[in-house]
Amino acid sequence: DSGVTQTPKHLITATGQRVTLRCSPRSGDLSVYWYQQSLDQGLQFLIQYYNGEERAKGNILERFSAQQFPDLHSELNLSSLELGDSALYFCASSVDSGGRANYGYTFGSGTRLTVV
């Protein structure tokens, strides 16, 4: 167990629908990152939140949105789903130690989204 919890693990939904993916970061981590991994592809950065505020945005579609709540858990909302949105969605968290080092991320186990 990495300490980063993602739910659900699997999700099957129809085109046009809306889904919410949930992530609880590792205890003490303030930053949450969302990535999309399509079949046999690398990880595409979607968005980052730090202590409740959006910090960085990647190639995130307008149909997608996210937020981080006061308890630091985060949700990624995907709407008007298309077949091409089928992918593995990862959440990761990191220790932001105040500027001394970058220790990389701790990843959750991902949510496998299948749009049919």
Partner 1 sequence: AQTVTQSQPEMSVQEAETVTLSCTYDTSESDYYLFWYKQPPSRQMILVIRQEAYKQQNATENRFSVNFQKAAKSFSLKISDSQLGDAAMYFCAYGHYPGDKIIFGKGTRLHILP
| Residue from 24, 36, 68, 94 binding partner 1 (CB under 8 A) | 94
Cβ–Cβ < 8 Å for 106, 3: yes
Q: Does 64 contact partner 1 by CB under 8 A?
A: no
Q: Is 48 in the site for partner 1 (CB under 8 A)?
A: yes
Hey, what are 78's tokens? 């995907």
User: Dmax over Cα atoms in the chain, in whole Å?
Assistant: 45
Q: How far is the CB of 69 from partner 1 (least distance, A)?
A: 19
Whole-number Å distance between alpha carbons of 13 and 23: 19
CB of 58 to partner 1, least distance (A): 7
Instruction: Give the binding range for partner 1 (CB under 8 A) out of 14-22, 34-42, 60-68, 78-86.
Output: 34-42
Q: Which of 88, 78, 77, 94 is nearest to 32 (CA)?
A: 94
Stretch that binds partner 1, among 17-25, 33-41, 62-70, 74-82 (CB under 8 A): 33-41
